[in-house]
């Protein structure tokens, strides 16, 4: 990135915080990855729009990230601008006018899903208990159509506030958005990514104590099933139709398989873990080895759920 662009971006980021040559590993739950040329913690929507205008005009690569809990960042990093939402985008508000049993809330893209769950428990709102124990932000959750226990976030979506490819902010109803299993199909338009600014969710009323109990049960089930001691990005592969990726990997005898510092978790076949000092290259090589073995044994192509940056 040349000096004049750097200067322009520095001048634009007044409320937002700009870091140059910023290591990204600390922004991922894998704890892996090289630096970004720039990382901006966005605290103001106008600044985001202006920064994206400069970045796109100069053909600089960019990406919004959340908590990095579904990301693998390349060892050489990302030669572009990484944007993430700061505190000002972590708000939750109830939107007026309850519609029968339904209560509409607006959640900022930077709000953590754990805060959303806690808030709903306290307010006596049911519908997002399945998010209990899943790291990440609501923005990242939307893009991934995060889900568990047979539920997914798109089912609760009423609309999204998006910063669109033409630089305009728009509220788009759920009916005009195309979601599938761990997939938001129209997350980009005309080759440019849309930025999730906020999500409106439709929830129902229930007793706080009942909701809390459900959350506690789901948390306990999660704890008993997933590795906790080593860094990871959750399920690495999507479940192929009619099968569980973790079971296929297990049946191939791949639990414990190592590649450098990366390993297939002994506890859960679909979790690749950083045993300490793993590189993104280790994880990618391990991924390819797993895919080859599962394809050979079951004829099934495993598709990564994890998103890649800088490859």
Closest distance of CB 1 from ligand FAD, Å: 19
Stretch binding ligand FAD (CB under 6 A), from 115-123, 229-237, 281-289, 296-304? 229-237
Residues in the chain: 311
* Distance separating alpha carbons of residues 116 and 186, to the nearest angstrom: 25
Within 8 A by CB and 6+ apart from 295, the residues are 301, 302
* Distance separating alpha carbons of residues 31 and 272, to the nearest angstrom: 12
Closest listed residue to residue 93, CA positions, set 82, 83, 105, 104: 105
Quick one: tokens of 74?
């390349």
# chain residues binding ligand FAD, by CB under 6 A: 31
Stretch binding ligand FAD (CB under 6 A), from 48-56, 57-65, 202-210, 293-301? 57-65
Phi, psi angles (nearest 5°) of residue 148: -170, 155
Burial of residue 102 (CB within 10 Å: 0-12, 13-18, 19+) is middle
Quick one: tokens of 28?
């991922």
Residues 258-297 binding ligand FAD (CB under 6 A) are none
| Contact call for residue 69 and ligand FAD (CB under 6 A) | yes
The answer to whether residue 305 is catalytic is yes
Closest distance of CB 59 from ligand FAD, Å: 19
Q: Which of 33, 34, 35, 66 binds ligand FAD (CB under 6 A)?
A: 66
86 contacts 15 by C-beta, under 8 angstroms? no
Q: Which of 6, 23, 29, 151 binds ligand FAD (CB under 6 A)?
A: 29
* Distance separating alpha carbons of residues 273 and 147, to the nearest angstrom: 21
Closest distance of CB 297 from ligand FAD, Å: 25
Residue of 115, 174, 182, 205 with catalytic role: 182
Q: Which of 23, 90, 124, 147 binds ligand FAD (CB under 6 A)?
A: 147
* Distance separating alpha carbons of residues 225 and 256, to the nearest angstrom: 16
| Contact call for residue 307 and ligand FAD (CB under 6 A) | yes
| Contact call for residue 80 and ligand FAD (CB under 6 A) | no
**CB atoms inside a 10 Å sphere around CB 204:** 13
Burial of residue 225 (CB within 10 Å: 0-12, 13-18, 19+) is exposed
Closest listed residue to residue 294, CA positions, set 241, 233, 249: 249
Closest distance of CB 187 from ligand FAD, Å: 7
Q: Which of 65, 74, 121, 125 binds ligand FAD (CB under 6 A)?
A: 65
Q: Which of 98/247 has CB closer to ligand FAD?
A: 247
The answer to whether residue 8 is catalytic is no
| Contact call for residue 33 and ligand FAD (CB under 6 A) | no
For residue 118, give the H/E element and its range: helix 113-123
Closest listed residue to residue 283, CA positions, set 251, 258, 310, 255: 258
Residue of 69, 152, 202, 235 with catalytic role: 235
Q: Which of 20/181 has CB closer to ligand FAD?
A: 181
120 contacts 108 by C-beta, under 8 angstroms? no
Q: Which of 232, 259, 265, 274 binds ligand FAD (CB under 6 A)?
A: 232
| Contact call for residue 108 and ligand FAD (CB under 6 A) | no
Stretch binding ligand FAD (CB under 6 A), from 91-99, 171-179, 226-234, 272-280? 226-234
The answer to whether residue 194 is catalytic is no
Closest distance of CB 126 from ligand FAD, Å: 18
Name the site residues for ligand FAD (rule: CB under 6 A): 29, 63-71, 109, 134-137, 139-141, 143-144, 146-148, 182, 195-196, 226, 232-234, 307
Q: Which residues are catalytic?
A: 182, 235, 305
């Amino acid at each position: 990135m040349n000096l004049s662009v750097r200067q322009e971006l520095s001048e634009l980021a007044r409320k937002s915080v700009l870091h140059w040559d910023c290591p990204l590993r600390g922004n991922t739950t894998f704890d892996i990855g090289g630096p970004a040329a720039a990382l901006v913690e966005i605290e103001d929507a106008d600044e985001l729009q202006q920064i994206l205008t400069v970045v796109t005009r100069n053909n600089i690569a960019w990406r919004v990230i959340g908590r990095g809990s579904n990301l693998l960042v390349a060892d050489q990093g990302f030669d572009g601008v990484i944007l993430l939402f700061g505190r000002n985008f972590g708000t939750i508000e109830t939107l007026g006018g309850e519609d029968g049993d339904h209560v509409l809330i607006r959640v900022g893209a930077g709000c953590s899903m754990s805060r959303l769950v806690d808030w709903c428990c306290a307010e006596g709102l049911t519908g997002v208990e399945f998010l209990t124990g899943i790291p990440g932000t609501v923005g990242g959750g939307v893009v991934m159509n995060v889900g568990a226990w047979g539920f997914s976030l798109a089912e609760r979506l009423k609309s999204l506030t998006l910063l669109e490819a033409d630089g305009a902010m728009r509220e788009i109803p759920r009916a005009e958005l195309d979601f599938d299993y761990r997939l938001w199909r129209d997350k980009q338009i005309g080759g440019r990514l849309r930025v999730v600014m906020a999500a409106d969710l439709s929830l129902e009323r229930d007793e706080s104590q009942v909701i809390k109990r459900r959350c506690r049960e789901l948390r306990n089930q999660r704890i008993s099933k997933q590795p906790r001691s080593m860094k990871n990005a959750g399920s690495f592969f999507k479940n192929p139709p009619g099968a569980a990726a973790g079971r296929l990997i297990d049946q191939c005898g791949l639990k414990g398989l190592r590649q450098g510092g990366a390993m297939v978790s002994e506890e859960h076949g679909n979790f690749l873990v950083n045993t300490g000092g793993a590189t993104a290259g280790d994880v990618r090589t391990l991924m390819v080895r797993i895919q080859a073995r599962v394809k050979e044994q079951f004829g099934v192509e495993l598709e990564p759920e994890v998103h890649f940056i800088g490859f």
